[in-house]
Amino acid sequence: MGNFLQAWHALSNLQISCRNYTKPGKTLLVKDVNAECRRDVGTTTLPSSCNIDKSRAHMPTHQYINGTNTRNSEAAICSGNPFPSSNVNVADAGKNLRGQSQFRASTVNSSDARALDGSLGNNGVHTSQGKDSAKVFLNDLDDDDDDILENIDVDQIVEQYQSSCTPQPSISKLPPIAPLIDKANIAGQDATSLPPELCSNCSHGFKIGLCPEAASHLQEMKDTLIIISNELLDDVNDLSPEQINKLRQDRLQLNKQIQQLERYLCNNSLDEERRKSHFSASTATPRPFQCETPQAAAFSTDPMRFDSQVHPHNESGGYDRCNSSSVSFSSVDRLDFSSCPVEREPYISKFVEVNYIEGSKDKKWSSDNFPWTKKLEDGNKKVFGNHSFRLNQREVINATMSGYDVFVLMPTGGGKSLTYQLPALICPGITLVISPLVSLIQDQIMHLLQANVPAAYLSANMEWTEQQEILRELNYEYCKYKLLYVTPEKVAKSDALLRQLENLNARQLLSRIVIDEAHCVSQWGHDFRPDYQALGILKQKFPNTPVLALTATATASVKEDVVQALGLVNCIVFRQSFNRPNLRQVYSVVPKTKKCVDDIDKFIKENHYDESGIIYCLSRMDCEKVAERLQECGHKAAFYHGNMDPAQRAFVQKQWSKDEINVICATVAFGMGINKPDVRFVIHHSLPKSIEGYHQECGRAGRDGQHSSCVLYYSYSDYIRVKHMISQGVIEQSPLTSGYNRINTANSGRVLETNTENLLRMVSYCENDVDCRRLIQLIHFGENFDCATCKKTCDNCLKIKSFSEKDVTEIAKQLVKKHRHQTVRLHGAGKHLAKGEASRVLRHLVTEDLLVEEVKKSDVYGSVSSILKVNELKARELFSGRKTILIRFPSTLKASKQKNPEAISAKGSLTSGMQSPPITGTEQPQSKGDLVCL
């Protein structure tokens, strides 16, 4: 308890920019906390009207927004955000603090740090007292905010505190942090400037536009809109004309409200971010470790000479845009970086009709007749030391250098970096690279500097003077940098950067914009990072600058979502197969027993003794336990997770890389940027969170093309456990998202829903004991796969020695009819099949190209819908009797019954992007109902 109290006081004492803590038992309205604390308002409590009114909190969103009721209101509650917006409690506030990226150490005073020291007692690093401890803490915060924040289990502290003690009077010097919500004040605040759509009262008694939880209301309104639209689509035959009319009116009204509220919130949050960005930039403390921002002396290449060497001249048909002479040269003096924040136009994402161009199939991109070809080949050899290009590298480079927007799907280690680093050398001006992690950026810059390629990065963690220096350099006519790396947060928040980009663009020196790990843009992806969504502003501001979006993992829905969010209109797509035929991997799923670790020990000894491998575990404690047990069994094992300090982690990783440790027991925190070629096995001790994640993690095995194993230990109880951890937000995140997802309350409901769907698909994968494992993975990424090419490299193909083929042509016809005409009733068509088998039929139709998945982002709802459409050409073959559909069933296997009810629905989701119910179009969307009818 002493620890909790100490930690509690430490947290209450923090004078930080995120003040989402309040004493237990008090309700905090998140949005106003920052503002109130910045003004150092004294102790306050919420007026009773602001406390949670449970009856209202659970009122259907549809009802309380519009003051109307529809018959779908219950559905609204069920399918809406499981954390009603009004239930913002202390634990949530804690999460917000931990994820808050503006956490600034510079404002922590020494007594605060002393108190903190106690709370961090378990972390071996933070042991000193007083000022020293403050220094240690400050340094560590600057080093890696998220790591430190991860080390404080705030939720646990708060929960236990809450459950076991009555709030004590604060002994902190500062008042506890709870905002004063003056309803009358807020109501009168800006009411005159509110558009009429935002003047209706919300459940908290505010005008909806002025409610501190307006962002949550916005999400609820969007969810309700989807429900109403679904109802209009699905049940239109059962509704009376009055009901239809009413629903349409509601839809119209909601649409208006959503648009207005989005615009209003966007303006407000931009103001806020700008203010914070300015604040954080001017108060940033020195970091103990700085990225080696290139100094002039670091280059043996004279930037001017370098430019003249590599820039193409005005060859006809060449990259003229790059070659135009500079427009004007602003002097450094004219750049006043410390001036007051400038007005940034509000960024409002716009729906675009994307014209996709399949790049991989177009031979022109592999031509070696482009004006820049020679320079390309020289640069590849001389600067990067490569003898040739890898698959798709030349094609992607040619497309982006021709000025197109390009979306690239290339496996990890495929060589994505070269596709923008080489063009950066050849084109005049600067290539802006948006990359998710400072550690990845530092790694890239280190390699570039070794190759004498001048590059720099900007990050909020750097000293402001250093940032200014880099910004100033960008202003020179002969700027020494060819590449500038930034994090998405920097683009979203730094006006100085945006201004500088505008300046570069005006001088036609913004050569290219690269979005690395582009799947982070999408809410449907497994690595969603809210700040990535704001990157759409770049295409709006610089429509003529080519954008290159790169990722190693994206389903069809994710791709659509990313391309939409970035605003790419004519987009050339290059994709490589997700299959890794050269990797002789064996995929298997094994039932998980209580002796799981002993089974793992046996497996390693029998198959990969003394070889290198990774065991992915769910929790930090699991990592430690598994490592300990394996050590007892004689393995050179160690654990790795987010609770270790960075030095410890680096040490373990190094030992593993040098084979001093064979087995690393890790959470998903491990693996980013790891390129060890001889990893012989990847074992999943628990259920992975998604097929994308699983595919990526398995991809770390056998990079040298040698035989490797991927074993997944599965039990249904793990599903329950993972699901619970996801819903509590306590599951360890991949480094790409760690500490970022939790800050976005507006999206938390949607993110949770996506995560649960992804998890269910993983359950479905595990419970499928018939289909080729490669097929199930690849179809998830929208790729067709011939199981024969698996060559028995998965347990299912291996174990099914003989199988019988069933003719399911008639069922296929029914399904195709159903998808053409929604009135056809399927009832009973597949009654002799178990539900799992029915979904296999549907899946098979997708692989046979009879049903095609079409993914669209809705301009109205902002959601991505995935629709199965009938391929008419193939359908004709089917109905003419020229095509029969045969599906293999293991001879030994009777019509299998599903093991778990929830897995049924998971199996229903056959293809990659069935993330949200289809909404538009006349085609009947694929739905669980179809399958259940069979």
Q: How far is the CB of 384 from ligand ATP (least distance, A)?
A: 7
Only one of the segments 124-132, 414-422, 634-642, 872-880 lies at the binding site for ligand ATP (rule: CB under 6 A); that segment is: 414-422
The reply on whether position 435 binds ligand ATP by CB under 6 A is: no
Q: How far is the CB of 434 from ligand ATP (least distance, A)?
A: 14
The reply on whether position 412 binds ligand ATP by CB under 6 A is: yes
The reply on whether position 418 binds ligand ATP by CB under 6 A is: yes
Residue among 118 and 413 whose Cβ is closer to ligand ATP: 413
Single residue of 23, 62, 95, 416 touching ligand ATP by CB under 6 A: 416
Q: How far is the CB of 480 from ligand ATP (least distance, A)?
A: 23
- Distance between CA 498 and CA 496 in Å, rounded? 5
Q: How far is the CB of 401 from ligand ATP (least distance, A)?
A: 16
Q: How far is the CB of 393 from ligand ATP (least distance, A)?
A: 6
Only one of the segments 386-394, 491-499, 836-844, 872-880 lies at the binding site for ligand ATP (rule: CB under 6 A); that segment is: 386-394
The reply on whether position 392 binds ligand ATP by CB under 6 A is: no
Residue in the block written with tokens 């810059």: 445
**E strand spans, 558-636:** 570-575, 585-591, 612-616
Render 97-145 in DSSP notation, one character per residue: HHH-TT--GGG--HHHHHHHHHHTTTSTT----HHHHHHHHHHHHHH-H
Collect all residues with Cβ–Cβ distance below 8 Å to 699 and sequence separation of at least 6: 411, 412, 552, 580
- The answer to whether the CB of 844 falls within 8 A of the CB of 836 is no
Q: How far is the CB of 389 from ligand ATP (least distance, A)?
A: 5
- The answer to whether the CB of 93 falls within 8 A of the CB of 28 is yes
Only one of the segments 387-395, 694-702, 793-801, 805-813 lies at the binding site for ligand ATP (rule: CB under 6 A); that segment is: 387-395
The reply on whether position 714 binds ligand ATP by CB under 6 A is: no
**Structure-block tokens of residue 387:** 């003898």
**Structure-block tokens of residue 191:** 């009411």
Q: How far is the CB of 382 from ligand ATP (least distance, A)?
A: 13
Contacts with ligand ATP in 116-135 (CB under 6 A)?
A: none
Residue among 266 and 451 whose Cβ is closer to ligand ATP: 451
The reply on whether position 657 binds ligand ATP by CB under 6 A is: no
Q: How far is the CB of 380 from ligand ATP (least distance, A)?
A: 7
The reply on whether position 413 binds ligand ATP by CB under 6 A is: yes
Angle at 494 between CA 488 and CA 496, to 5 degrees: 135
Only one of the segments 331-339, 406-414, 475-483, 676-684 lies at the binding site for ligand ATP (rule: CB under 6 A); that segment is: 406-414
- Distance between CA 94 and CA 315 in Å, rounded? 59
Single residue of 386, 577, 809, 927 touching ligand ATP by CB under 6 A: 386
Secondary structure in 3-state letters for 734-760: CCCCCCCHHHCHHHHHHHHHHHHHHHH
Pairing of strands 679-684, 708-714: parallel
Residue among 13 and 412 whose Cβ is closer to ligand ATP: 412
Residue among 416 and 526 whose Cβ is closer to ligand ATP: 416
Only one of the segments 45-53, 231-239, 405-413, 716-724 lies at the binding site for ligand ATP (rule: CB under 6 A); that segment is: 405-413
- Distance between CA 338 and CA 418 in Å, rounded? 36
Collect all residues with Cβ–Cβ distance below 8 Å to 343 and sequence separation of at least 6: none
The reply on whether position 734 binds ligand ATP by CB under 6 A is: no
Q: How far is the CB of 440 from ligand ATP (least distance, A)?
A: 8
- The answer to whether the CB of 177 falls within 8 A of the CB of 22 is yes
Single residue of 414, 688, 917, 918 touching ligand ATP by CB under 6 A: 414
- Distance between CA 436 and CA 738 in Å, rounded? 11
Q: How far is the CB of 672 from ligand ATP (least distance, A)?
A: 8
- The answer to whether the CB of 294 falls within 8 A of the CB of 483 is no
- Distance between CA 327 and CA 509 in Å, rounded? 9
The reply on whether position 552 binds ligand ATP by CB under 6 A is: yes
The reply on whether position 415 binds ligand ATP by CB under 6 A is: yes
Count of residues engaged in binding ligand ATP, rule: CB under 6 A: 13
The reply on whether position 523 binds ligand ATP by CB under 6 A is: no
Only one of the segments 410-418, 596-604, 645-653, 769-777 lies at the binding site for ligand ATP (rule: CB under 6 A); that segment is: 410-418
Collect all residues with Cβ–Cβ distance below 8 Å to 918 and sequence separation of at least 6: 865, 866, 867, 925, 926, 927
Phi and psi of 865, rounded to 5°? -115, 145
DSSP H or E segment with residue 866: strand 864-870
The reply on whether position 389 binds ligand ATP by CB under 6 A is: yes
Burial state string for 510-531 with b = 16 or more CB within 10 A and e = fewer than 16: bbbbbbbbbbbbbbbbbbbbbb
- The answer to whether the CB of 763 falls within 8 A of the CB of 902 is yes
Only one of the segments 411-419, 698-706, 825-833, 842-850 lies at the binding site for ligand ATP (rule: CB under 6 A); that segment is: 411-419
The reply on whether position 695 binds ligand ATP by CB under 6 A is: no
Q: How far is the CB of 804 from ligand ATP (least distance, A)?
A: 42
Burial state string for 430-450 with b = 16 or more CB within 10 A and e = fewer than 16: bbbbbbbbbebbbebbeebbe
Residue among 409 and 456 whose Cβ is closer to ligand ATP: 409
Angle at 831 between CA 830 and CA 837, to 5 degrees: 60
Single residue of 417, 508, 690, 709 touching ligand ATP by CB under 6 A: 417
The reply on whether position 410 binds ligand ATP by CB under 6 A is: yes
The reply on whether position 503 binds ligand ATP by CB under 6 A is: no
Q: How far is the CB of 528 from ligand ATP (least distance, A)?
A: 18
The reply on whether position 390 binds ligand ATP by CB under 6 A is: yes
Collect all residues with Cβ–Cβ distance below 8 Å to 361 and sequence separation of at least 6: none
- Distance between CA 18 and CA 34 in Å, rounded? 6
Provide the binding-site residues for ligand ATP, judged by CB under 6 A: 386, 389-390, 393, 410, 412-418, 552
